[in-house]
Structure 1
């Protein structure tokens, strides 16, 4: 999968046209859609008292050689035995980023092995991984301080408490999919957006936060939706219409305000409302580089983000042993043109219902109907994946259980 490192990151961006050209080269890498990756995030809790704060030092000691440099600048940050890398979020959430695999079976095997290794490390330190998309026990609390995290907190605090909830309490599941051949990119880009609200609703796990029922199926997504919409709203469809995802992403990226500006003194706070386009135009001392633009992209958090591949960001963390279900659903639905066309048709009536999905989940009848159709299509398409029959059956049972729980009024 392409990264900004493929280009000259030290190049100074002297005008918007150079920035647009840079973005056009890195946002969508085309080719056969064969690889899938996953990023799994969890809150972390004391095994005896889940309401007890878990600090950075305890995490560092638990992770040992796998600790990231955000916990210890001198850390080796060794990959997990099956290739996954560990990162830590500002609230102490842990994340495993898998290496992309050419088949779901390999992704399942290697990722489960790395989860098992991480779980054992934490257990030895009296820690356990959370099981939902938001911390059900503790209020938002900072655990890790870096210049980036301090700048983010400063920026989000201007608009209220939701930024801290997002930073310190939420845990998501991200699915990374190839963008596809040139003739497939638009359809796949549109599809992963259109499928978003019913899949968000179907896999919502984040109702309880800080010891109370929030009344939202996904309080995680509620927090994301309530922070700066210029960096969290969906990129597609673009407000100006059209069917060019590259142009839509370029506008989105350049017109989003800066969240942080890297400086040697460690103060990365950005002035309010200054966009990257403004920076190119001289709003800050010194022009930005391509590397500054690459870093700016990492501070944009739409439900789907193009990173050469498609990074699907709208799913909550899943209960133990169930992370593969939403990954397999997405892969199966995008696996052939007929299934994809039927999935888009089923999702079209609810494709813009992001807030309804976060609030009501499958209690919303229209979202439940769309999810039912998507699950049926996915279950029938699983045999076209390389997953073992027993794994396919297990996924189908998870999907059936989600729908049955919604029918009982307990999604």
Structure 2
């Protein structure tokens, strides 16, 4: 995700867009797991946001990482804005407020995800600690105002920052103050994609509750368990949400293409320049009706870039992206890929998960999605608490991972990575509620202790 893709072939027909998605189908033996996680940098002294510039800034951090890893830099107008491993490993990129993202390599099992994560954190610490930079594992910055947060030197973010306030009250917060962990998973056919997409959209609120981790804004309790999840409810509803049409007959790659064609664009990239086309649809561009680029046809790169600016709870690219979870401390990160792999990569668990959600209506799914940021496990669907559904999902995931039988060198399978989630369910409380207890108790109404207890 870190690099805007470079394929300047002009598109001729809608069929090419559908074909682009179809190319994602692969046999189950080639299924991979990609995990992306974001973390908020802060100055170890004073716990302030880290600027891009300067000897102890984010730019210096990336330069240090480049020397350490030997990865290729991603440059924009003379600034280093990311790194990628030319051997297909992973990539490091910057979110708008400096949130530091690892887009992991496509790996075969969750043991490899865990190994990749530990290596990454060791490498980051080696460079960051001498610079006086630490990293926080929360879904949202707990103490800073919007105004305090620096802007990274990426052209697309300037365009998005101008557009966001026109389409929702929280878009700027989403860009500059939130962190997430995502899992990217494969599909074997169009039918397999549709089934996985439906199950994962319906169950995304379960992941939101299990990972709810953003109860503070500017030093105070904000009234939510996952304020990051609430932010997405009013960021830009033309490009986010629960996609009720995915559950209708006739869903497939074509239906997604038609949806994406009508989502307003942000930018078109030509050379090093981002051209602001915010608000005009890809369909208009496709038909040569884009006022900023009259008569010009979009390229495959434009399409791939546009697809990365659509933000529903689950996103289709050439794989499926699970987008419902808050950023969390490192010990809980591998639990997210484990949870979804167990549910979606085992046919028996996938079928049972579909049984669980297939009778929910669009209104019920939406109401659950709307309630989960505030109520967590206490949100309800039909006559059931989300807590019960989360328990069932964890059972299914556990069984799926056992059947997959991918063992590490000590003979343990991937279900071991679900342990943090099992502890959460045993306690009956989301991580955010646990944090709020500390805030109201031993922390004495201060969020400062998070910078130690929830740091990487």
Class of the TM-score when normalised by the shorter of the 2 chains: 0.7 to 0.9
**How many residues are treated as equivalent by the alignment?**
401
Match of 1:32 in 2: 27
Contact kept, 8 Å, 1:80 with 1:114, in 2: the verdict is: no
* Deviation (angstroms), 1:74: 5.8
Q: Find the counterpart in structure 1 of residue 154 from structure 2.
A: 146
Give 1:270's aligned residue: 277
Preserved CA contact (<8 Å) 2:338 2:418: no
Q: Quote how far apart the aligned CAs of 1:410 are.
A: 2.5
Q: Secondary structure at the match of 2:311?
A: coil
Instruction: Return closer, same or farther for 1:108/1:32 CA change in 2, 3 Å cut-off.
Output: farther
Note the alpha carbon deviations across 1:57-102, whole angstroms, 9 max, x for none. 2011123253653677364835399933210111010000111012
Aligned mate of 1:300, from 298, 310, 332: 310
Moved more, 163-172 or 175-184: 175-184
Q: Pick from 361, 372, 379 the counterpart of residue 391 of structure 2.
A: 372
Q: Are 1:194 and 1:344, in contact at CA under 8 Å, matched by a contact in 2?
A: no
Partner of 1:227: 235
User: Where does 1:37-76 land on structure 2 (aligned, <5 Å)?
Assistant: 37-50=34-47, 52-57=48-53, 58-66=57-65, 69=74, 73=78, 75=80
1:200 aligns with 2:199: no
Pairwise CA distance, 1:338: 1.8
Q: 1:358 aligns with which of 344, 348, 373?
A: 373
Q: In 2, are the aligned partners of 1:82 and 1:113 still within 8 Å (CA)? A: no
- In the other structure, the counterpart of 2:177 is 169
Q: Are the structure 2 counterparts of residues 70 and 397 from structure 1 closer, same or farther at C-alpha, using a change threshold of 3 Å?
A: same
Unpaired segments of 5 or more residues in structure 2?
67-72, 435-456
Number of the residue aligned with 1:397: 419
Q: Distance in 2 between matches of 1:198 and 1:265?
A: 40
Contact map agreement 1:66 1:86 (CA 8 A) in 2: no
The aligned counterpart of 1:104 is 110
Instruction: Determine helix, strand or coil for the equivalent of 2:239.
Output: helix
> Which of residues 247, 251, 259 is equivalent to 1:244?
251
List per-residue Cα deviations over 1:207-265 (Å, max 9, x = no partner).
212212121221112212211111112335348x3242312211211001121233679
Q: CA shift at 1:156, angstroms?
A: 0.3
Q: What is the root-mean-square deviation in Å for CA atoms of aligned residues? A: 2.9
Distance 1:169 1:139 in 2: 9
Preserved CA contact (<8 Å) 2:49 2:150: no
Counterpart-to-counterpart distance in 1, 2:351 and 2:309: 32
C-alpha spacing 1:207/1:151, structure 2 compared with 1 (3 Å): same
Following TM superposition, by how much is the alpha carbon of 1:357 offset from its aligned partner in structure 2, in angstroms? Answer: 1.8
- Quickly say closer, same or farther: Cα 1:211–1:370, change in 2 above 3 A: same
- Whether 2:86 is the aligned partner of 1:83: answer no
SS at match of 1:237: helix
Separation in structure 2 between the aligned mates of residue 265 and residue 117 of structure 1, nearest angstrom: 30
Q: Which residue matches 1:286?
A: 295
Are residues 139 and 275 of structure 1, via their aligned partners in 2, closer, same or farther at CA, if it must alter by over 3 Å? same
- Corresponding position of 2:406: 386
1:172-191 alignment, distance < 5 Å: 172-191=180-199
* Contact 2:94–2:100 (CA under 8 A) maintained in structure 1: yes
Structure 1 unaligned runs (5+)?
none
Residue aligned with 2:296, SS:
coil
CA distance in 2, matches of 1:391, 1:168: 37
Q: Which residue in the other structure is 1:259 paired with?
A: 266
